Amino acid sequence: MKRAVSATAGRLWPNATALVLAAGFVFPVYWMFSTAFKPTRDIITDEPVWFPFHGTAEHFATAVRAPHFWTLAGNSVLVTVLAVGLSLVIALCAAFALTRMRFRGRRGILLTFMIAQMAPWEVMVISIYMIVRDADLLNSLAPLTCFYMLMVLPFTLLTLRGYVAAVPRELEESAMVDGCSRRQAFLKVVFPLLAPGLMATSLFGFITAWNEFPLVLVLNKEPAMGTLPLWLSQFQSQFGDDWGATMAAASIFAVPILILFLFLQRKAVGGLTSGAVKG
């Protein structure tokens, strides 16, 4: 009897803790969506209204009606996808060389990328502004794409290194014994095995590029050349205490990344570890 009770208790407390934790992690996300769908009279209350009983889409309408919303959304998607795609291609080449080949300067180059990962981009906006201004490229999406690409490049590269290392070298070698060139062996054998790693790594890139704020604020002053983070922050200062509209805007901003994450997270978690465990 006593043993049965303690066994139940032993199973109970992890489950109870897990439930409390799950609620704690989900609540801010839930509260964002729930506030966005509530009419203002249910938001500004002394007693919180926990569910959006009187669901409304008016806050979303307000958020989308903000000037240039669709242009900015298009800019954001374009810049993010291009930056992440480019960085994946460039990083994969470099990661392959750094993992599988032996050459002079290898460790120095590795150190360079590890330090590049620490670059304080927020405080370099002044020098970047001066460079872009002198090149006459202010208010253009091209410099943004390039800089976002480089912001995510070091992390992408270092993470992909783990994935490349996890592909057994013997696979590649046996393909070459069978008459493939090194390039063919890579494209036909190694690359398909890397696909999950590429998808997982791209997630971090998407988040970083999607979120970037200080650089676009300084470089692209023209309203139609901005990205969504600018819209979200201006939206907030413009509407001040209109929490319904602000949360609707935050929801619109978060949804693409949330969806992407739910699709790709399994790959992200498992694979990243194989890289991390390797060091």
Residues 125-184 that bind other proteins (CB under 8 A): 125-128, 130-131, 146-147, 149-150, 153-154, 157, 173, 176-182
Query: Minimum Å distance from CB 203 to other proteins?
Result: 8
**Measured between alpha carbons, how far is 54 from 35 in angstroms, rounded to an integer?**
11
Binding mask 180-219 for other proteins (x = CB under 8 A): xxx------------------------x--xx-xx---x-
Query: Minimum Å distance from CB 157 to other proteins?
Result: 6
Return the number of the residue (77 or 150) whose C-beta is nearest other proteins.
150
**Measured between alpha carbons, how far is 42 from 54 in angstroms, rounded to an integer?**
8
Residues 41-60 that bind other proteins (CB under 8 A): 43-48
**Measured between alpha carbons, how far is 126 from 131 in angstroms, rounded to an integer?**
9
Q: Residue 255, SS3?
A: helix
Residues 217-276 that bind other proteins (CB under 8 A): 218, 229, 232-233, 236, 243, 246-247, 249-251, 253-254, 257-258, 260-262, 265, 269-270, 272-274, 276
Contact 271, 195 (CB under 8 A): no
CA-to-CA dists, residue 158 to 97, 117, 246, angstroms: 12, 9, 36
Query: What is the chain's alpha carbon radius of gyration, rounded to the nearest angstrom?
Result: 24
Q: Which of 56, 62, 71, 117 contacts other proteins by CB under 8 A?
A: 117
